[in-house]
A and B are shown apart, each in its own frame.
Chain A
């Protein structure tokens, strides 16, 4: 497994199975602190959900991991083979479904066969020649999933991929993600604001609040999980309790905020 280092020096011996390793990761937008000294390790085969109210930097963290943004300081080691499924399917309307899966990666018949295999895994092999505009919302999102799978990622980033789907389609999509994860065992980071969804899918639920990790909760329930079971609801209460303590703003001992307070 190849990994990309974002700062040259190696201080600690790295876990060879780690697909994400963040050390003191901090992100500012101008003067505004978004993420404050995040430490996080995700191993291959681990399903992690990142939970938190909107505006707490969930998506920013995911975008840093997807290398769509850079952090202000700190250190990030990220698996080289990383794929993203966004909230919107983000398909190229001018390309047929299987071309959307392949994009620029691979050529000719082998690429097409691999794309068809990825589409078969999400149950859309028959739609391989369709145009994106003729897909339903759930189908389009599954093509996005096939596009991510086609690249055989070590790290799969999911940015609220079920957010725009209706309840029934969402449930089926969640089952599909779980099935694919069990088959391919990438490390998964799922960004969501749905507590139940995070507990249904993940091994670990991380609650982000005030720009730092508020809680890191192990979900030790065998799958398939029953949302009505006592142990499920016990963990749900714990997570909701943690979410309740989240302040919508960055903590007050942030030096920048103190500076603001003393200006007048």
Chain B
């Protein structure tokens, strides 16, 4: 009772032929319009700006509510000719920088020590994690009681806000180093200090720099919040004064300065990362 097998038909294999004649590295499809990448990226902001200017000049929105881009450029010119802008910028930048260096420095030391020592981590990681959950803006009333309404409370607020990003990222950066690489130090008779210098710090640096980048952003945020407290100088002072005189154009100009500062900080920090971490770049070393 053998099963009857169907005869195997020798049918032709169906194939699809591909013929290539595009030449080297041509990804362009026939008929596709090539739009320069930059132009495409600029399209949305430029369109937004155009609609904004149009709605202001056509009178759809009152200049008091939303001054036109041209009004804001005029506001900058006014701030520049009166010398207010040149006076305010260094003051604000100094506040942010001092707070960032103090807070970031403290976060760096705490993070490195906690990353290297389990005892240190047990000692202060939990309280720091608890402090971290407090939104720093909520501390403003307390800081005013403690440090008054002058410069001290402003710098203290920026300092407090800058500690945690650096602390957390430094600590994680060091803790995520492969223990096998720490072992290399022991294998080749390196002292603890040499292991830190040749293994821990170079490999922890990416985390440390991410921490500083976040901290720089947070310091700027803290600056904005701090400058709301009775500012006698700085960009916050310009904003407060403009507020009293209902100068929406100057308020918007001030807000944009904060935005540009944030952008510059980010660009600078990224450039710093590229400079200090050449081993992470894509190119092949010589």
Contact = CB atoms under 8 A, between A and B. Distances in A.
B245 interface: no
B184 A96 contact: no
Contacts of A104: 185, 188, 190-191, 194, 197-198
A134 B181 contact: no
A134 B203 contact: no
Interface string B172-199: 0000000011011111111100100111
A92 B285 contact: no
A184 interface: no
Nearest to A86: B180
Contact of B284 (A66, A67, A93, A134): A134
Contacts of B187: 66, 68, 83-84
Given A129-B285, A131-B278, A90 B188 contact: no
A66 B188 CA distance: 9
Contacts of B138: none
- Select the residue from A83, A92, A131, A151 with max chain B CB neighbours within 10 A: A92
B128 interface: no
A interface, over-half SS: loop
B285 A103 contact: no
- Select the residue from A67, A93, A132, A147 with max chain B CB neighbours within 10 A: A93
Contact of A131 (B183, B189, B197, B279): B279
A183 interface: no
Interface string A94-130: 1110000001110000000000000000000000011
A104 B189 CA distance: 9
Contact of A92 (B202, B284, B286): B202
Contacts of A130: 284-286
B205 interface: yes
- Select the residue from B190, B203, B286 with max chain A CB neighbours within 10 A: B286
- Select the residue from A86, A103, A147 with max chain B CB neighbours within 10 A: A103
Nearest to B195: A104
A94 B180 contact: no
Nearest to A102: B198
B198 A133 contact: no
Contact of A93 (B183, B185, B198, B279): B279
Contacts of B189: 105
A203 interface: no
A216 interface: no
Interface residues of A, number: 24
Interface in B189-217: 189-191, 194, 197-199, 202-203, 205
B124 to A, nearest CB: 28
A147 B284 CA distance: 22
A93 B197 CA distance: 14
Interface residues of B, number: 25
A194 interface: no
A129 B285 CA distance: 7
Given A88-B180, A90-B184, A95 B198 contact: yes
Contacts of B286: 129-130
Contacts of A147: 188
B198 A92 contact: yes
Interface in A33-92: 66-68, 83-84, 86, 88, 90, 92
B285 A95 contact: no
A83 B184 CA distance: 10
A73 to B, nearest CB: 22
A134 B205 contact: no
A19 to B, nearest CB: 16
Contact of A94 (B185, B188, B194, B205): B205
B179 to A, nearest CB: 11
Contacts of B198: 92, 95, 103-104
A67 B183 CA distance: 10
B196 to A, nearest CB: 11
Contacts of A133: 279-280
A226 B153 CA distance: 80
A68 B188 CA distance: 11
A88 B179 CA distance: 13
A131 B280 CA distance: 9
A92 B180 contact: no
Interface in B229-283: 277-280
A90 to B, nearest CB: 5
Identify the 9 closest CB pairs spanning chains A and B, nearest first. Answer: A94-B202, A104-B194, A130-B285, A131-B279, A104-B190, A131-B285, A84-B187, A134-B284, A90-B184
13 contacts: A83-B187, A83-B188, A90-B183, A92-B202, A92-B203, A93-B279, A94-B279, A95-B279, A103-B198, A104-B185, A104-B191, A132-B279, A134-B284
